[in-house]
Structure 1
Amino acid sequence: MGLLAASPTPVWALSAQEPLSLKADAPASYTVREGDTLWSIAARFLDSPWQWQALWQRNPQVASPRQLYPGDVIRLVATDGAPHLALERGRGETVRLSPSVRRAPAREAVPSLPLDRIRVFLESYQIVDPGVLADAPTVVAGQAQRLLSGAGDTLYAHGRLPAAGTTLGIYRPGSDYRAPMSSESEGQVSETRSLGLELHRLGHARVRRNVDGVGELKVLDAVQEIRNGDYLLALDEGGIATQFQPRAPETPIMATILSVPDGVRFIGRHDVVAIDRGRADGLETGHVLQVMRQGERVRDDVRDEWVTLPDTEAGAVMVFRVFEHLSYALVMRASQALAVGDRLVVPSDLREVVASGGAP
C-alpha cells in the first residue's frame, strides 16, 4: 500500500457511471488545522468536494468520519490503483471509525462549513406557515411609552398569552416566500402558493402577568431593538444540526435561488441564499447543488433572430438548514456573481446517475 504521487488529474470509476476525480495537486497527507471545514478539506483532495464520502468508501475498513479534529492526519493511499483515505487521530494511531470513537465536545470538531457565516440563520431565523401569526400576541407598548425596548426593559403585549413565568421568543416577520402556480390551461401562471414566512428572532421575554388581555413582560435578551408590532411566539428553537457531510442529493432536484436574506446585490462565496425546495422535496442538510446561470439572449444578425445561449455552471451551494418547502444554503464557490433566479441542480458529474436511479 503506497502513497499516491501528484500527477495529471486521475479518474477512477466508483461505478460504471460515477467517476471520482482527484485534484492534480492532491496532497499525500494533510493535517487538520484550526479554521478548517469539511468542505475546505475535501476541496484539497477532490475536484468535486461533494464526493467526499465516496472517497472514504473506497476503503472498506474505514467508514467516512462524522467528525474530524485539529491534529488528525488524513492520508491519501492506493490499493490496486484505487485511491482511498486513511485516518490517524491526533496521537498518531490509526483507528477504526465508529459512532463510539473519540467522544469529544462538538465545538472541538471541524465544522462542515464556516459557522460564523451561518450562525445567525441557525439560531435566529425560522420559516413558518403565515397562519401562525393570525392569533399571535403583539407588542403594543414599551415601558413609559418607549417606542423601542431592549434587554431588561418592560413591554406590554395584546393577545392570548400563556401563564406567568413562560418565556417567549420575540419575532419580526421578514420575506413571505411564494412560488407561482401554473393553471392547467396553457401553462399560464394564475396564482402563487406560500412556501413559508421568514421570521427573525429579536430576543426573549418572560410573561410577568396578564390583565384583561394585556400582558406585561420582561425582556430577557435582545439582539435588536424591539418595537410595536413585533410578535411573541413559542417556537421550537432546538435540535439544529451543525455537523453534516457534504454530499449530492440521491434524487433529482431542481431548485431556484429565491432571495439573499442579507440583502446583498451580488451573490458570492459565503453568502447565504434562500432556495425554493425543502424537506418535502427530499433536501437534507449537507446536500450540495450546482448553480446554473441562465444563458443570455443574443441577436443573430445573419439570420435576423434572437437566440438563447446555453446555461453555464457558475458555482455550488451547500444546504445547511431545511424547512418543509424552503431551505437556507451557503455559497461554497462561485466562478461569477450569482443572482436571484439562478437554477440549482444535482452536480453535473452525478446528474445522469441520479436521473437513472443509480447509486450516487
Structure 2
Amino acid sequence: MINSFLTRSRVVDKGVLVAAPYVLAGQEKHILAGLNDDFYARGNLDPNLSVYGVYRDGGNYVDPASGELLGVRAQAIGSAKLKVMDKDVATLGVTRSEEEIRAYDRLLPDEAREIDTTFQPSAPPDGSDGLIVSVEGSVRVAGLLDVVAINLGDRSGIKTGNMLAIYKKGEVVKDRVTGGHVQLPAERAGLLMVFRTFEKMSYGLILNANRPLAVGDAVKSP
C-alpha cells in the first residue's frame, strides 16, 4: 500500500512547536517512552481532543535558491491518547511509536494521513519549476519510494497528485580547450508524485529514479 511509504511529518510555521504542549517525563521519572507506555505532558492541551501526535523539531526547510524559510519540520515520533488531565499536566498513553518519545518532544492535534484511494495523477501548472529542498530520513541521497521536500507549494498552484519530473543537476567539468569550467546540462533522472502540500512547499514520493537524487536537483512539469 502506497501509504506505508509516506511520511507523517508536518511542516509548521516558526514558533508553533515552541508554543505547543511538551513531554515532561515517562512514568517513574523515565526520560523515554515507547509503545503502550504512559507519559506526562504539560501545556495547553484540549480535553476535547483524545489523540495527539508527538513531534520533534527536525530543523528548518530553507529554499536553496532564495534562502527563504519555507517552514519548520515537525518530525513525527508517534501518537498518544489523552487519559487524564490535572490542571496543566496530562497523562497520555502511547498508541503508535516510530521511535522512543523523549522529554521535550511536542504535542500537536493528530492528523488523518491516509492517502485517498481514488487519487488520480495530474499535471502541475504549466511552467512549474522548483528544487528538492530535503530528503526525508536525514539521508544525503534519494531513490525509488523515498520522500523528498520541494520548494513548490499551495502558493505555486501545486496540488496533491501532481506529477513532476526530476532533473539531475549537471556536473561542473573542466574545458581542456579553453582552460575554464563549464556546467553540463541537467538530465531527466526520475519522477515524483506530490502527496502533501503546504503554503510554501510540498512533500513528494519518488516513483521512478534511474540514478541517485539529491538536494538541489530540479523538479519541473513533465
Same fold (TM over 0.5): yes
**How high is the TM-score relative to the length of structure 2?**
0.87
**CA positional deviation for 1:239:** 7.4
Q: Which one is further off, 321-330 or 232-241? A: 232-241
Larger Rg: 1
Structure 1 match to 2:91: 217
List per-residue Cα deviations over 1:323-356 (Å, max 9, x = no partner).
2222111112122221111011111xxxxxxxxx
Structure 2 match to 1:316: 191
Give the 3-state SS of the residue equivalent to 2:62 in structure 1. strand
> Are 1:271 and 2:143 counterparts?
no
Counterpart-to-counterpart distance in 2, 1:181 and 1:314: 20
Which structure's residues are more often strand, by fraction?
2
> Residues 37-186 of structure 1 correspond to what in structure 2 (within 5 A)?
114-118=2-6, 121=7, 124-163=8-47, 166-179=50-63
Structure 2 match to 1:245: 120
Counterpart-to-counterpart distance in 2, 1:281 and 1:210: 45
**CA positional deviation for 1:240:** 4.8
Amino acid at match of 1:292: Y
Structure 2 match to 1:306: 181
Give the 3-state SS of the residue equivalent to 2:19 in structure 1. coil
Amino acid at match of 2:183: T
Structure 1 match to 2:213: 338
Q: Is the 8 A contact 2:83 2:93 kept in 1?
A: no
Structure 1 regions of 5+ residues with no counterpart?
1-110, 183-190, 348-360
> Are 1:230 and 2:120 counterparts?
no
- State the 4+ residue runs in structure 1 displaced beyond 6 angstroms: none
**CA positional deviation for 1:271:** 1.5
Counterpart-to-counterpart distance in 2, 1:195 and 1:128: 6
Q: Please provide the CA RMSD for this pair.
A: 2.4
Report sequence identity in percent.
36
Counterpart-to-counterpart distance in 2, 1:165 and 1:315: 41
Counterpart-to-counterpart distance in 2, 1:180 and 1:339: 12
Change (3 A) 1:138 1:340: same
Change (3 A) 1:315 1:249: same
Amino acid at match of 2:39: L
**CA positional deviation for 1:230:** 0.9
**How high is the TM-score relative to the length of structure 1?**
0.56
Structure 2 match to 1:254: 129
Q: Is the 8 A contact 1:138 1:229 kept in 2?
A: yes
Counterpart-to-counterpart distance in 2, 1:256 and 1:324: 16
Structure 2 match to 1:205: 81
Give the 3-state SS of the residue equivalent to 1:141 in structure 2. strand
Amino acid at match of 1:346: S
Give the 3-state SS of the residue equivalent to 1:115 in structure 2. helix
Give the 3-state SS of the residue equivalent to 2:74 in structure 1. strand
Structure 2 regions of 5+ residues with no counterpart?
none
**CA positional deviation for 1:203:** 1.3
Amino acid at match of 2:93: V
**CA positional deviation for 1:228:** 0.4
Counterpart-to-counterpart distance in 2, 1:233 and 1:176: 18
- State the number of aligned residues: 221
Give the 3-state SS of the residue equivalent to 2:86 in structure 1. strand
**CA positional deviation for 1:284:** 1.1
Q: Is the 8 A contact 2:60 2:69 kept in 1?
A: no
